A and B are shown apart, each in its own frame.
Chain A
Amino acid sequence: MTSLIPLIPLLPFAGFVVNSTMGKRLPKSISGGLASLVMVVSFLISAYLVWQLAQLAPEQRLMTSTLYRWIASGEFTLDVTFLIDPLSAVMLLVITGIGSLIHIYSTAYMHDEIDSEFARYFSYLNLFAAFMLVLVLGSSFPVLFVGWEGVGLCSYLLIGFWFKRKSAADAGKKAFVVNRIGDYAFLLGMFALFAMFGTLEVRGVAAQVAAMPPEAGFGLLSLATLLLFIGATGKSAQIPLYVWLPDAMEGPTPVSALIHAATMVTAGVYMIGRNAVLFSHTPHTLTIVAIIGAATALMAGTIGLVQNDIKRVLAYSTVSQLGLMFLAMGVGAFGAGIFHLYTHAFFKACLFLGSGAVIHALHGEQDIRNMGGLKKYLPVTYWTFVIGSLALAGVPLLAGFFSKDELLFETFAGGHQILWGIGALASLLTAVYMGRLVFLTFHGERRHDAPAAADAHGHGAHDAHGSASAKAAADKHGDHGHGAPHDAPPAMAIALVVLALGSVFAGYIGVPAGLGGHNELGAWLAPSFAAPVEAGAVAEAGAARAEAAAEAAEEHEAGEIALERTLMGVSSAIAVGGLLVAWFIWIQRREIADQMARSFAPIHKLLLNKYYVDELYDATVVTPIQAVSREGLWRGVDIGVIDGAVNGVASIVDAGSMVLRRLQTGSVRAYAGSLFIGVVLMLGYYLWR
């Protein structure tokens, strides 16, 4: 049974191998079909294994499969081991399940590409999934890191998929470089852990840490976890390394869905969840995590309010939601964070694929100012998009409500009222910008031209490229003409409907006690966040812990449920209120939005330009590095030192030869004379020494 585990990442990898080597000669139906098939099979295997896992007692839910010994150096050994526990089970289902839907959707979305490009796209997509699965299955830091780097590589390849467009190539590079910065910190964190514990097994580290008291000051352990967290900010797009994610829009839309929902950005949250024991022993790092998460949630939410590119709004919404997940992680509510990750995967994939369907229908148009009134042309897309938006906004009884509510409740109950306030504000912003997005895209009159072309240019190069690609796509779709936009083709519609259903029902595995439910997911995940126990002590410890938990639960229950219900009311009010505000502004009184933009012009401009963070990084990091590279490394080291050394040796030899060649007179008698003198000297030396 455990021998099936390696198949989960290997199947997508096999798909990658086939598509990357033979893909050029395969028709689209085979290359796309194969890529989707391996994902579906991988999903079925995962589901089977998770079902098997669920049969075990909660304390024993652990399956491992050791492939081979990777490193054996003196006392230190490291095996390549895959591990399924409740946490990686959730991640496996999200990655393979939503990944499969995105693959299926892509077969329709990418159909305009030529065969070889189509195969290249699917080979990258499969490789992405394979690396992400390695990441969540790895039982030790180095194996996790292999997946961690692999998804970074694949995001580069996929974001820059249309590499002939400069903006796409630049976005790919940006994603890769920003991720590398985080990866470097992650590596350092890994080294620090190894120096402290002498092992790189996640569970081994957790077992040793569990015996230690939480670190009171900011010591080595805190530093190590902080470094790991910096790695997470790179992968999961948090302040200060979030800048790559909004630019990742340059890739094909399903790739955005894959990066934002199923893979990549969830890696950082997962990594913290995986090391829950370690992180809970470093309260200072956790505080930093929570503050960064809350700040990111708020900042990205405000930017999302004013963006005009449909995918860009969603991108900032992802950054904002990830901020909320980190907020949960930071207050120690690991289960709530993973719960939000899981529900978010459904509705964010649904929204991105929906936006892809809109863009597909409008031949590449991405500016929501040029949309409107699409409701009647794209019924499937419209309804699934609305469901996704409502779920994301946190409207009661949809998936996002349960997870966001749980997350905010845990924050408040943990005594972090200010952070809760920020989180609630970010949720309000979420509701408003999602309302704006839906109303501007699907409701009102059909608009064709951006209200002010100059504005679009002032806003950055990306919109400009958007219209360029719109033209290109329109040419490709020439036979469709400019008639009514057509709704999503079947392969896309299926994925949208399934994800919309998920957005409705996914939350019901974590119904809070306040609504008379029981948080199944929280209980399921709990063993993953606790320190590993010795095999013999498992049953005892399990019983003891269950008892303790039950007692604690009873004590707190009455007060907590009241609090939870109050907070639930608040967040429902926030979600509905936000949507109403959006409805009032963008449906009833469109002029209010323009008036507000005018009266708060400086703020509006600040938000439209994303707080000028890109410009700031450009001025403080990119330009200096380029200057140092050009003047110091290129002109100084490369031309000066390296070329100088080579050319210098050559000139020394040249100068020496100029002197020595004087001896070569060409006169036979001079040669004979030197020969004679030489012989005499040698003989003289031996005779008279």
Chain B
Amino acid sequence: MSTRKKVLWGIGGFLIVVYCLFPIAWIVSVSFKAPSDLANKSFLPSGGAATLENYRLILTGGASDLFLPALRNSFGICLIATAISCVLAMFAAYAIARLDFPGKKLILSTALVVAIFPIISIVTPLFNLWRNIGLYDTWPGLIIPYLSLTLPISIWTMSAFFREIPWEMEQAAQVDGATTWQAFRKVIVPLAAPGVFTTAIIAFFIAWNDFIYGISLTSTEAARPVPAALGLFTGASQFEEPTGAISAAAVIVTIPVVLLVLIFQRRIVAGLTNGAVKG
């Protein structure tokens, strides 16, 4: 490639980075603006007026009893839902990748149908049912429907990963004198672990992103997750726009996913594309 071309593609790459980070930069900037500074019409807080007031408000101040329980709910519910769906998907994906049985297609197609299912169609009946059986506004009441988000993608992604594992190596290890358990633990587990781990990250992203279940199936801080809490946030008093507090909370919930992206980017891309497009 000529230097001119290199520079042009470099500029293209730079534009992509700007495109991806611009809204995030904006919300970070807003989160540091004082209420009186919000209407300054500029991108950054005006001259040295950056303040941590918004963060104080949601972490220790008046809004903390809204935000902190929501953060705990989100982490707890999403981690449990991710763990359950990963375990279930692990068995299913093993069977799909390794065994020959009728119904493989049925299981994968079902996962596809569940993945494209309109969430609101699940919410309506669950709303009524959960109220009747006491699951409304509880952790299990969100973990169960979250499986409809996390399980299909887990099955797809993991079976795509498992298909690429050289399973013959298990027999090879046994021929070399390893017991079945040793062969499994020393050969298969290290080969399968990255796929399982990547799947878990993607499933966690999807659960973390949920909004509809969160606002529909909870009513208090007993189970309400962060996105729902953000959506229903109404400021310290009704005369005060909660823009700054929402931005600070938004920045805090974005930090975990950005960290995961930065650390595991290569794997996440492989996971996202492996499951969907494969030659």
Q: Do A and B bind?
A: no
Residues of B within 8 A of A (CB): none
Residues of A within 8 A of B (CB): none
